[in-house]
Structure 1
């Protein structure tokens, strides 16, 4: 699973949104001109990978084999001692010589150097982990020089000045941030992809959308198949507007905010509205809610009066148009569980 749309896929390069790739290419081209390196790659951390994983956004000067090793090796539990230090403990741009001098790590003896980089003619390199202002890990930048003397202190400092800019360029969630800001203002927001919850840097997920909460498992089952606005009622019978927006691939943006009960509908009446919108008959609603058919008829009468409509079809149309249905649960069920069945 990648957060990028598939139409841009190419080799080991992540199928990234065009704007992300274009920004990465521009920054890498400018940086390469400034520091005169012989090879460079800007990578992004895949926010939806079940285990730490990087994808290439922009690269020049490396073979496919070298790129594969750089992407695979730069993980928290890396066997490469230099990468392990850079990925977990140091927020700086370090060359092979810096690792040897300050940490007694001889990068030239690592498998990556001996098997890929040295045979390709590289004798010095630099790597930096990229971090966003909120502490999120965005990606990494790797570069190499054929001549050790070319990796000067001035060039290392130039790279370090670029790190905040490179981190933003590696932030593959930035398009989602723009979408969340545009569509949902100050609502709580989160992303779902491959069954994994991902927070959008700079936006609050809030208490309801936390992956440990009661709503999240329901979203995981329903989000891949749904789009639109729904209602969630929590344990305290507080109403929440839930907006689901499909993004690139199978990624879904989820927005949540508290709301008053729409049209003064009760929780039970919203269950009936949800079932009506799904085409259920009164007997079907009675069976689903474990109530009498007469009780269902009474609920329907109240709903028609509160919504100011004349028919069940009008209820269904209004419910879909204004998001009056409860959060769906998977493909086959339309009712939100968790005790509402006991409400009258």
Structure 2
């Protein structure tokens, strides 16, 4: 069996899987193909970052690029392919062409995919199965074909069934994010920000704040800082939340959230001043942004120095960045460089 080069099998689409996912997919597909001895095989993953349902090839061998492209285009919920309509939407079993004909009155050999790509390549039987996680998330599919129809035996179909949990785990493109979330934020609510939409991470709770209907999510969609790090957010009830941002593959951001006490007993207004100090703003610029007097700002700075136990504005800025004391607030974090007077006024 030849290697499974992702560059060939993904066609013109850019790979969305992490290297560890591709490696695991190749290993499992090689093992399964050695057991069922098929003539062509493809493992595809549902792309969680796409705006509409679509699959990407993780590993494949024995198919032409054109055939793989049709697999990707047709294995979607609203497919016109009658065989894929059954496998994708109506059955969770691994089904052969003969199973579709016998149990569902579907002649897969008469589909355009079979007539244009599979039959001319010498394939006369195949099996396809959806891949699901225990929580019901659809994560991918396995496709196999044989030149001799009799080679797709019941035992080989059952072997594919038995491999489905392993294949599903290998097809879960969010698994690296789950590992990262567990390692960095074991006790926090987490979500994945990417593509302008919320992405839940299987097995982890987003919590009320990070859900798409939560109060923080619209802010994250429009005002994520350019740098990774730890930030603060204060909700309408005055509760403090620690927000940690970690950039991942495919321009996604892992967001972690947990409630915390007010750090250093700082007030909300003092934290606004800290955030602007960390951006390098002067007292007059801070006064302009917060619409207060310069004397009021000076008093806030004195209180902040005392509460943080530091002696200078530079030390405040360094500690704020190091310990995550900057607010995740559009008026204050939209720009990280002075002049702060151009940041815009809070509503």
TM over 0.5: yes
Q: Is 1:274 equivalent to 2:271 in the alignment?
A: no
Q: 1:281 to 1:204 in 2, by over 3 A?
A: same
| Partner in structure 1 of residue 25 of structure 2 | 24
Structure 1 position 152 matched with structure 2 position 149 = no
Matches within 5 A, 1:47-58: 47-58=48-59
Residues 224 and 252 of structure 1 are in contact (CA less than 8 Å); yes or no, is this contact kept in structure 2?
no
After superposition, the C-alpha distances for 1:84-103 in whole angstroms (9 at most, x for unaligned) are 12112211101111111111
- Are 1:44 and 1:56, in contact at CA under 8 Å, matched by a contact in 2? yes
For 2:79, the equivalent position in structure 1 comes to 78
* 1:135-173 superposed Cα distances (whole Å, 9 cap, x missing partner): 111110001111111111111111000000100010111
Of the structure 1 ranges 215-224 and 178-187, higher mean CA displacement relative to structure 2 is found in 215-224
In structure 2, C-alpha distance between the alignment counterparts of 1:275 and 1:15, rounded to whole Å: 37
After superposition, where does 1:278-293 map in structure 2 within 5 Å? Answer: 278-293=279-294
> Which residues in structure 2 correspond to 1:1-344 (within 5 Å)?
10-13=7-10, 14-223=15-224, 225-329=226-330, 332-333=334-335
Q: Secondary structure at the match of 2:205?
A: coil
> Could you say what the CA RMSD is over the residues aligned between the two structures, in angstroms?
1.9
Q: Return the offset for 1:226.
A: 2.5
Closer/same/farther in 2, CA of residues 224 and 333 from structure 1, 3 Å limit: closer
TM-score (structure 2 length as normaliser): 0.91
Are 1:244 and 1:255, in contact at CA under 8 Å, matched by a contact in 2? Answer: yes
Per-residue deviation, 1:221 = 2.6
Moved more, 12-21 or 62-71: 12-21
SS at 1:23's partner residue? helix
> Where does structure 1 differ by over 4 angstroms across 4 or more consecutive aligned residues?
none
Separation in 2 of the partners of 1:224 and 1:298?
Answer: 28
Unaligned runs of 5+ in 2: none
* Cα displacement (A) at 1:254: 0.8
Distance (whole Å) between structure 2 residues aligned to residue 313 and residue 272 of structure 1: 13
Alignment TM-score, normalising by the size of structure 1 = 0.92
- Secondary structure at the aligned position of 1:114 is classed as helix
Partners of 1:271 and 1:259 in 2: CA distance: 17
Offset of residue 186 of structure 1: 1.6
* Aligned-residue offset at 1:220: 2.1
Structure 1 pair 195–12 and aligned structure 2 pair: CA distance change class (3 A): farther
Quote the Cα distance in structure 1 between the aligned partners of 2:206 and 2:266.
27
Matched residue SS, 2:80 = coil
Instruction: Give the 3-state SS of the residue equivalent to 2:243 in structure 1.
Output: strand
How many residue pairs end up in the alignment?
331
CA contact (8 A) 2:9 2:60 kept: no
Conserved 8 A contact 1:76-1:87: yes
Task: Quote the residue 1:4 is aligned against.
Answer: none
